[in-house]
Chains A and B, each alone.
Chain A
Amino acid sequence: MNVAVLSESPADEAALRFLVGAVLGRPPRLVAPGFRARGWPNVAQVLPAVIRHLHFNTDAQLLAVVVDADDSVVHGRSHDTPGYFHPHCRMCQLRAVFRQTNKKIARSPRPHASAGGVLRGVGVAVPAVEGWYLCGRDDSVTESAWVAGQESGYRPYSRAELKLRVYGTDRPSLPLQIECALREIERHRRDTRRLEYDFPGFAALADDVRAAGRNQSEGRLAP
């Protein structure tokens, strides 16, 4: 499958490529270069242009994008009700951008390079991607622990603490960041179920990736 990645840094991109491959069970073919955004809300701002570009100018089949939730509202089951949209949930926001952009593209008379459209792959790391990296190493770090902390007003950990636990410093160099990310997610190479269970924001991405994989193998790529 031809996969494009939109991320905040080369470290996030390396991890995201690996995880998409782990979910698919085979390494994806990556569309170069990796697309970058400068954090939230810049990701949502550049996303329509990236989708358009991929659609009209490349053979990308899936665009994988992951953002940190930071302190935003965490996507819950109730958000998945048809027609529902939580304005402060980044998952809902990014999915809406995909929906609206793909709708506009479908109406466009321009010839489409991408056979059948660019499918969505959206994940939200709660509260930050370092939470995913600690999955399977630190049982106290889960999406539900964070949500419970949001509700009680007592955060179980901060983003800065998660980074310190993963990198051993609050100022990791880029190579160290990539090395630590890849070392930690290696645990999920053969089986991503634990990561999906502990982090529904990852499970949503995994579902999107599998759906795209099924679409591809069944040869129907219409969005």
Chain B
Amino acid sequence: MIASVAFRKFKALRKTQVALLPFNLVIGPNGSGKTSLIESLLRLRTLAPLPQATARRDKSAPEGPQITFKFEPPHDALTALISCTSEEVCNLLEIHPPEAADWPALRTRLALIRGYVLDHSVMGAPAKREDGASLASDGHNLAAVLARMSTAAPDEFSALTAHLLRIMPEFHSLELVTHPDGRVEFGLRLAEDGLLTAAELSQGMLYLLAILTLAFDPAPPPLLCIEEVDRGIHPRTLREIRDALYRLSYPKSFGLQRAPVQIVATTHSPYLIDQFREHPEEIVISQKHGRAARFERLSDRADLPELLREGSLGDMWFSGILGGVPDEP
């Protein structure tokens, strides 16, 4: 959906741009702008449905922070510009050309962008059944989303369950229990009998279930941002995480007839990065120099094929050859 994002003086992103593919895994040290990239996309989501601002940029003022978005066809003639009216307030959205006929269609889709910083401490909690329309950004309504999916989209729910049980064969079924107060809770029944309630599940299991819930969403958003997508997941299970995300971004590869979901995910895991050996173009490295940072596509490196002969992507990233590592004193 989004073709590129260019930054000027936005936090650490002083002057850089990144072209976005259907799937993007962003790596780099803390404070290198990974979260700022996601923040910019979520800011666009928030501003897009609002009436266009009447305030205008003061063109005589010194250049302030600005974020420029370009879009994939059929919206490739449109540019969206977020700029700041003051140091603190970056909420001025301009569209070029201002009267673009396709803006109403695009803004409707932009409003559906979702961002996730999943939190295991809330994901296992019982949730109100009616809150299950879409997974909240911290995942606190996971139980409600699963309950809704089980009745409104039973095929997707079965596929999700089958996928989960294949990864965790110690379980026999995913079960939903409704409390007397109407709240719903999920649990996993062990193959050898006995139910583990959501509160008893490990952090990793909750993260895995949340990612699968997004992957099997019957009505996924056009763009999904996920921070620390590998969090809590065993390195041997990361291939399944990659597959779940590819299911969204490359539905055709999974025999699905629906629009691709663009994904921007971040990680610090060399093991997850290893999963992209065949598609290094999907990795974006944020390079930090002092307090400023810029984005680079891994595939832009001319010597990448030679480097790939010498070792795994994850090891090379850790070593510092690829950049995207913290400064050291």
Is the Cβ of B312 less than 8 Å from the Cβ of A39?
yes
Interface string of B227-252 (1 = CB under 8 A from A): 00000000010011001001100101
A106 on the interface (CB 8 Å rule)? no
Is the Cβ of A174 less than 8 Å from the Cβ of B240?
yes
**Residue in chain A with minimal CB distance to B23:** A171
Q: How far is the CA of A160 from the CA of B277 in the complex (A)?
A: 11
> DSSP majority for the A interface?
loop
Which B277-291 residues sit within 8 Å CB-CB of chain A?
A: 277-279
Is the Cβ of A173 less than 8 Å from the Cβ of B309?
no
Is the Cβ of B243 less than 8 Å from the Cβ of A173?
yes
Is the Cβ of B243 less than 8 Å from the Cβ of A174?
yes
A216 on the interface (CB 8 Å rule)? no
Is the Cβ of B311 less than 8 Å from the Cβ of A42?
yes
Q: Given A42-B311, A163-B278 in contact, is the A172-B253 Cβ separation under 8 Å?
A: yes
A191 on the interface (CB 8 Å rule)? no
Number of interface residues of A (CB under 8 A): 19
Question: Interface centre among B166, B236, B240, B253, by most A CB within 10 Å?
Answer: B253
A70 on the interface (CB 8 Å rule)? yes
Which B250-307 residues sit within 8 Å CB-CB of chain A?
A: 250, 252-254, 271, 274, 277-279
Is the Cβ of A38 less than 8 Å from the Cβ of B312?
yes
Q: How far is the CA of A35 from the CA of B240 in the complex (A)?
A: 18
Is the Cβ of A9 less than 8 Å from the Cβ of B239?
yes
Q: How far is the CA of A6 from the CA of B75 in the complex (A)?
A: 49
Find A38's partner among B252, B253, B274, B309 (CB 8 Å cutoff): B274
A161 on the interface (CB 8 Å rule)? no
Is the Cβ of B166 less than 8 Å from the Cβ of A175?
yes
**Residue in chain B with minimal CB distance to A159:** B278
Interface size class of B (residues with CB under 8 A): 20 to 34
A41 on the interface (CB 8 Å rule)? yes
Is the Cβ of A169 less than 8 Å from the Cβ of B312?
no
**Residue in chain B with minimal CB distance to A34:** B236
B314 on the interface (CB 8 Å rule)? yes
Interface string of A155-194 (1 = CB under 8 A from B): 0000010010000011111110000000000000000000
B315 on the interface (CB 8 Å rule)? yes
Q: How far is the CA of A44 from the CA of B315 in the complex (A)?
A: 15
Is the Cβ of A174 less than 8 Å from the Cβ of B239?
yes
Q: Given A38-B271, A173-B254, A175-B166 in contact, is the A71-B278 Cβ separation under 8 Å?
A: no
Give chain B residues whose Cβ lies under 8 Å from the Cβ of A71: 309
Give chain B residues whose Cβ lies under 8 Å from the Cβ of A70: 309
Q: Say how far A165's CB is from chain B's closest CB, in angstroms.
A: 15
**Residue in chain B with minimal CB distance to A88:** B309
Is the Cβ of A42 less than 8 Å from the Cβ of B239?
no
Find B253's partner among A72, A160, A169, A175 (CB 8 Å cutoff): A169
A36 on the interface (CB 8 Å rule)? yes
Is the Cβ of B246 less than 8 Å from the Cβ of A171?
yes
Give chain A residues whose Cβ lies under 8 Å from the Cβ of B310: 41
Is the Cβ of B243 less than 8 Å from the Cβ of A42?
no
Q: How far is the CA of A40 from the CA of B312 in the complex (A)?
A: 7
Interface string of A21-65 (1 = CB under 8 A from B): 000000000000000101111100000000000000000000000
Q: How far is the CA of A70 from the CA of B306 in the complex (A)?
A: 11
Give chain A residues whose Cβ lies under 8 Å from the Cβ of B243: 173-174
Which A1-26 residues sit within 8 Å CB-CB of chain B?
A: 9
Contact residues of A with B, CB < 8 Å? 9, 36, 38-42, 70-72, 160, 163, 169-175
